Structure 1
Amino acid sequence: MRVIITEHARKRLKDVRQEKITYADIINAAREIPGCIPTATRFKGFFAKSGRIFDIVAKDISSGRLVITVIGK
């Protein structure tokens, strides 16, 4: 499945709260979510390789899975 990370989510990765979360962490998290996501939904409790816990907001669109934002813990 193709994972698309929005510009907003890319910008959020530069914040202190999301530091040490990589694009690969986000892509892996988005691919772990089973089924179809017709509306933007928050998914909680993913672990980055650095050990940081984060949530993502994602939605399925015709060209793949869109990651709208990333929320670090």
Structure 2
Amino acid sequence: MRVFVTEHARKRLHNLRQERLGLADIEAAALQIPGYVPTATRFRGFVARSGRIFDLVVKDIATGRLVITVIGK
């Protein structure tokens, strides 16, 4: 499955709240979510390689999984 990260989510990676999160962390977390996600849904409690905890808002589209935003803790 392909993972697409929106421009909004990429911009949020530069905020202080999301520091130490990378695209690889986001893509790996998105692939861990089982099943089909038909509507935008928040998934909580992912851990980045740096140890930072974060949430994802994800929706499945015809071509893969779309990461709408990232919320750092």
Normalization by structure 2: what TM-score? 0.99
Equivalent residue of 2:45, what SS? Answer: strand
1:44 Cα deviation (Å)? 0.1
For structure 2, which runs of at least 5 residues remain unmatched after alignment? Answer: none
For structure 1, which runs of at least 5 residues remain unmatched after alignment? Answer: none
Partner Cα distance (1:11, 1:22) in 2? 12
* Residue matched to 2:8: 8
Normalization by structure 1: what TM-score? 0.99
Equivalent residue of 1:17, what SS? Answer: helix
Q: 1:50 and 2:50 equivalent? A: yes
Corresponding pairs, count: 73
Tell me the amino acid that sits aligned with residue 3 of structure 1: V
Structure 1 stretches of at least 4 aligned residues deviating more than 6 Å after TM superposition: none
Identical aligned pairs, as a percentage? 70
* Residue matched to 1:41: 41
Deviations 1:19-66 (A, max 9, x none): 000000000000000000000000000000000000000000001000
RMSD, aligned CA: 0.2
